[in-house]
Amino acid sequence: MTLAAITAAASQLDAARPVDSVLTSSEEAAQYIADGCLIDGPPGRVGLEMEAHCVDPADPCRRPSWDEITGVIDQLPPMPGRSVVTVEPGGAVELSGRPEDGGAAAIEAMSNDQGVLRKAFAGAGLGLVYLGADPLREPKRVNPGARYRAMEEFFAASDSAEAGAAMMTSTAAVQVNLDAGPQAGWADRVRLAHALGPTMIAIAANSPMLGGEFSGWVSTRQWVWGQMDSARCGPILGASGDDPGTDWARYALKAPVMMVHNPQGPDLQALTHYVSFADWADGSAQLCDRRPTLADLDYHLTTLFPPVRPRQWLEIRYLDSAPDAYWPAIAFTLVALLDDPVAAEAAAAAVEPVATAWDNAARLGLSDRRLHEAATSCVAIAAAKAPPELTGAMERLIGSVERGRCPGDDFSDQVIDQGIAATVSQLAQGGL
């Protein structure tokens, strides 16, 4: 996240070892992963990524086509915050913000870019819906990219075919990216990022429906991810959590290879049988008649989706996408609880009783007494650190949490009152 440090570190790695170098063992691969997974430096930079489902307000059951979505993106004016716009497999539109100095600056930049994006899609008769899971439409891939085609083939051949399709095409998130911080504090920082997960999932839960039905989970998005192979999507912490680099290396090498660059065939070839990266690196399995290179290992790491992923910085991936009334305060809460030392210490104590309650958080949310207590404490801790421009947002979040409500409750109330199609159409036009 500290761009100069990351660029310098990457340059040193590239100079030391070309990416086409062949790996000779899993031990060599593990050392490479551990050495490069986090960058030592001060915390403070914050990057946000926001995903939204693209919806036709006139026909919310229809999934807009690739050409419709990219036609809007191709005509976008420059983003004031210089966010990058991409399209997810199912047509969700993602804004990836640049790193900013602190949570408030990142939130302001993302809000400005969202306004530009919404206006452009509205001008094309389309809307952006900020929910953690598509509540109405069946899973369907519209992005024709080779990576997503291979992912689809991989999941279709796996034990998590249904969950894989839903994850790819029906879920949306708010992602928070933070500097790794000083190396001496990495273990505590990564442990806290995980320990906050259940409480933050309960606070942010905004996906009560999937496929036209209430799922019985307040965060159906998290439920979907929980149905995936834990070797690819589960938390990375080891038994002690004392060495994030070793934990990440162990996790990555045990995970199955999803796809391989094949010089003799399609650029990306999906694997339909289980081969761990360790087996490939050690030579007990050969893929495309060759051993892996550093480039293969780097690419493999991009196909792993734990809730907290070390990518030189910390990628925190467990928050449901949420509307404007909620996401700025939710994002600021998470940033404050990790980046402010006093807030981090208080938050660690508050969430300790529910640090591993991932399923309860996704299913019950704030109706779980212990999660409600932790959430009430956490938002109060964060609110004390909020700048004046976020005071109102934090007060609204505190009030919601104290009442045991999450963002998805507003959506559910509207669905019960007006019906799902009408509610989704209203959201796509900027309602609620």
pLDDT (tens digit per residue) in 62-101: 999 999 999 999 999 999 999 999 999 999 999 999 999 9
In a domain, 10, yes or no: no
Residue 3 lies in a domain: no
Task: Give residue 143's domain range.
Answer: 26-429
On the question of pLDDT at 241 being above 80, the answer is: no
Mean pLDDT, range 265-282, rounded to an integer:
91
**What's residue 275's pLDDT?**
96
Residue 95 maps to a domain:
yes
Nearest by Cα to 318 from 166, 206, 174: 174
List of residues 6+ apart from 422 with CB closer than 8 A: none
Rounded Cα–Cα distance for residues 226 and 228 (Å): 5
Rounded to an integer, the average pLDDT of 177-190 is 97
Q: How far apart are CA 209 and CA 89, in angstroms?
A: 20
**Gap between the Cα atoms of 218 and 225, Å rounded:** 14
Domain membership flag for residue 16: no
With a pLDDT cut of 70, the percent of the chain lying above it is: 94
Other beta carbons within 10 Å of 101: 10
Looking at residue 19, its pLDDT comes to 86
Residue 238 has pLDDT above 80, yes or no: no
In the prediction, which pLDDT does 432 show? 62
Residue 237 banded pLDDT, cuts 50, 70, 90:
confident
Q: Between 101 and 286, whose confidence is greater?
A: 101
Residue 415 placed within a domain: yes
What residues are paired with 290 via a beta bridge?
287
Residue 17 lies in a domain: no
290-347 residue pLDDT tens: 999 999 999 999 999 999 999 999 999 999 999 999 999 999 999 999 999 999 999 9
Tens of pLDDT, residues 349-373: 999 999 999 999 999 999 999 999 9
CATH of the domain at 67: 3.30.590.20
What pLDDT is recorded for position 239? 56
pLDDT per residue as tens digits for the range 152-170:
999 999 888 999 999 999 9
Q: What is the overall mean pLDDT for the chain?
A: 94
> For the residues 209-230, what does the mean pLDDT come to?
96
Query: Which phi and psi angles does 170 have, rounded to 5°?
Result: -130, 10
Q: Is the pLDDT of residue 4 over 50?
A: no
Burial of 257 (0-12, 13-18, 19+ CB in 10 A): buried
234 pLDDT band, cuts 50/70/90, is very high
Say what the pLDDT of residue 8 is. 40
- Contact between residue 423 and residue 415 where contact means Cβ atoms under 8 Å apart: yes
Question: What is the crossing angle of helices 420-428 and 407-418, to 10°?
Answer: 120
- The predicted structure's pLDDT at residue 266: 67
Residue 368 lies in a domain: yes
Find tokens 């999906």 and name the residue: 270
Residue 284 lies in a domain: yes
Output the CA torsion 70→76→78→79 (10° steps): -80
Q: State pLDDT tens for residues 407-427.
A: 999 999 999 999 999 999 999
Cβ atoms 179, 318 nearer than 8 A: no
Q: What average pLDDT does the segment 235-253 reach?
A: 87
**Size of the chain in residues:** 432
Report the alpha-carbon distance of residue 280 to residue 182 in Å, rounded. Answer: 33
User: How many domains would you assign to the chain?
Assistant: 1
- What local confidence, expressed as pLDDT, does residue 16 receive? 62
